[in-house]
Amino acid sequence: MNESCLIKPLLNGRYPSVEYGQGIYLYDSDGKKYIDGSSGAVTAGIGHGVKEIAAVMKEQAEKVSFVYRSQFTNKPAEQLALKLKQWAPGNVNWSFFVNSGSEATETAMKVAIQYWQEKKRPGKTKILSRWMSYHGITIGALSMSGHVERRARFVPLLEDFPTVEPPYCYRCSFNNNFPECHLLCADQLDRAIRRIGSDHIAAFIAEPIIGASGAALVPPPGYYEQIKEICLSHDILFIADEVMTGIGRCGKKFAIDHWQAVPDIIAAGKGMSAGYAPIAATIISDEVMEPIQNGSKLIMSGHTYSANPQSAAIALAVLKYIENHGLISNAAEKGNELLQKLNQLKQNYPLIGDVRGMGMLTGVEFVANRGTKQPFSRVINVTKLIIDKSMEKGLLVYPASSGIEGTAGDAVIIAPPLTVRSEEIAELVTVFEEAVKEVQAELLL
Ligand code: PLP
């Protein structure tokens, strides 16, 4: 495959070329079969090769694929906005469509800043966030991200938005345990706001369950209730970045639904179209939209492809597919099965330090010493060893890392499509076990 002009294969020539997908499986051009144990980048929520979606694609393309949003509205985008309004909690009712998760969080940031400008408080421009977070790759989204590795080479261009410790109970930054800790990690937001001054802060952004930088870190009960209360008491908006966790992935429509804390703005992406089209959304509450509608009227952002009917029709079909096939309850139920099986593996393999997750978003963290939780040196790159070994055996899992030496272990996310069946989970875990066993032996544990 050296004739390719695609940058990644040219750089290391290592990636197989995919031929087709069916359900939770992918097949490469040599006929090798892979279990898609991570839904790609936690995206392919309804599995691969779904005929109903292909039919909608064709039908919409034959009608009209693209219109410019300042010239026309269109039915698929209107219906998709309505569906998201039904799905989102509270009064989070208004959808602004973009093309990627990064654009969704970056738009959320801009909307929060605009909201305070309309309210005649233009000094409120900072967005606070947590260390160990990933909100996207564009400069604004990366500014909000506490993913040290991904920030590293752009630091001079980035804002210092991450300020608070993550709710990482396995390695509590405060050397404490829940519930005795009284949620010191949430309390840190209050301190950060007091130090910086709420007059400078527009919003706090958080992934309800930390994904790419932490491998499915689930905060304890009460965490987001406390976060929401802190935000309210300081006049700060709460943005839930549901790009990875939303659209049924965590066993509810949005992961934040597991807590009593309605966000002011939600960023959704990935599972929203399950990979069938590039589309994402910034979903905004009535309260945040009101001063914008009464003031500038327009959200000061937008992209050429925003709200194009082709992507909107596909996302709408995906949401209906999720509803019609009961995939959210399947994610909750089968997610428990997966978590149980991974916990059983943990008993037998000292390489596994922690297993965690919610719904169909699970994480496995690897340690050099389970007793002390000592992580491996990043030079060894156990995450890569596990990913490569799994792939060799026909299983795809997704890397997760904080990028800070010594603060966290290597980890992978296991998050198959929400359609996954019990026998497929058993097959996935069997292959994963073989990979863990071999890597553990190579590391002489
Ligand atoms: N937010 C979260 C929580 C993510 O996990 C990601 C991607 O992994 C993003 C934002 C960025 O999304 P995208 O890669 O579609 O730009």
313, 405: one domain: no
Count of CB atoms within 10 A of residue 199's CB? Answer: 12
Q: How many residues does the chain have?
A: 445
Lowest mean pLDDT among 11-15, 66-70, 379-383: 11-15
Is the pLDDT reported for residue 389 higher than 90?
A: yes
- Examine the fold and report which residue of 292, 324, 356 is the final residue of a domain before the chain moves on: 324
Domain of 425: which CATH number?
3.90.1150.10
Domain of 280: which CATH number?
3.40.640.10
pLDDT at 216: 97
Q: Is residue 353 part of a domain?
A: yes
Q: Is residue 361 part of a domain?
A: yes
184, 36: one domain: no
245, 108: one domain: yes
208 in contact with ligand 1, CB cutoff 6 A: no
Q: What's the mean pLDDT in 389-411?
A: 87
Is the pLDDT reported for residue 400 higher than 60?
A: yes
CA of 269 from ligand 1 middle (Å) equals: 7
Is the pLDDT reported for residue 14 higher than 80?
A: no
Is the pLDDT reported for residue 403 higher than 70?
A: no
The average confidence (pLDDT) of the chain is: 95
Q: How many domains does the chain have?
A: 2
Q: Using an 8 Å Cβ cutoff, are 344 and 360 in contact?
A: no
127, 198: one domain: yes
146, 216: one domain: yes
Question: What pLDDT band is residue 235 in, cutting at 50, 70 and 90?
Answer: very high
pLDDT at 13: 63
Question: What pLDDT band is residue 5 in, cutting at 50, 70 and 90?
Answer: confident
333, 210: one domain: no
Q: Is residue 2 part of a domain?
A: no
180, 272: one domain: yes
- From 97, 102, 144, 282, mutation site for ligand 1 pocket: most ligand atoms within 8 A of C-beta: 102
Q: DSSP states of 94-138 as a string?
A: EEEEESSHHHHHHHHHHHHHHHHHHTT-TT--EEEEESS----SS
Is the pLDDT reported for residue 10 higher than 80?
A: no
Is the pLDDT reported for residue 405 higher than 90?
A: no
Q: Report phi then psi at 108, rounded to 5.
A: -60, -40
Is the pLDDT reported for residue 26 higher than 80?
A: yes
Q: Tally helices (H) and strands (E) across the chain.
A: 14, 14
Is the pLDDT reported for residue 6 higher than 90?
A: no
Q: Which two tokens stand for residue 33?
A: 């079969």
| Nearest protein Cα to ligand 1, atom 14 | 101
25, 155: one domain: no
CA dist., res. 239 & res. 105, Å (int):
9
For residue 292, the 8-state DSSP code is H
Is the pLDDT reported for residue 4 higher than 90?
A: no
Q: Is residue 415 part of a domain?
A: yes
Is the pLDDT reported for residue 2 higher than 60?
A: no
pLDDT tens for 133-149 read 999 999 999 999 999 88
Q: What's the mean pLDDT in 255-263?
A: 98
286, 300: one domain: yes
419 in contact with ligand 1, CB cutoff 6 A: no
Is the pLDDT reported for residue 406 higher than 80?
A: no
Is the pLDDT reported for residue 291 higher than 70?
A: yes
pLDDT at 15: 85
332, 384: one domain: yes
Question: What pLDDT band is residue 7 in, cutting at 50, 70 and 90?
Answer: confident
135 in contact with ligand 1, CB cutoff 6 A: yes
Q: Is residue 1 part of a domain?
A: no
211 in contact with ligand 1, CB cutoff 6 A: yes
Q: Is residue 316 part of a domain?
A: yes
168, 76: one domain: yes
pLDDT at 1: 44
- Examine the fold and report which residue of 324, 346, 371 is the final residue of a domain before the chain moves on: 324
CA of 102 from ligand 1 middle (Å) equals: 6
pLDDT at 261: 98
Question: What pLDDT band is residue 407 in, cutting at 50, 70 and 90?
Answer: confident
For residue 91, the 8-state DSSP code is T
Distances (CA, A) of 31 to 27, 93, 388: 6, 45, 18
316, 343: one domain: no
Question: What percentage of the chain has pLDDT greater than the value 70?
Answer: 97
- Examine the fold and report which residue of 290, 324, 358 is the final residue of a domain before the chain moves on: 324
Q: What's the mean pLDDT in 43-72?
A: 97
Is the pLDDT reported for residue 3 higher than 60?
A: no
Q: What's the mean pLDDT in 308-323?
A: 98
Residues spanned by the domain of 216: 54-324
Ligand 1 atom at minimal distance to the Cα of residue 41: 8
Q: Is residue 95 part of a domain?
A: yes
Distances (CA, A) of 121 to 157, 286, 323: 25, 19, 41
Residue 339 region by backbone torsions, left for phi larger than 0, else alpha for psi between -120 and 50, else beta:
alpha
Q: Is residue 412 part of a domain?
A: yes
Is the pLDDT reported for residue 294 higher than 50?
A: yes
* 351 against 9, higher pLDDT: 351
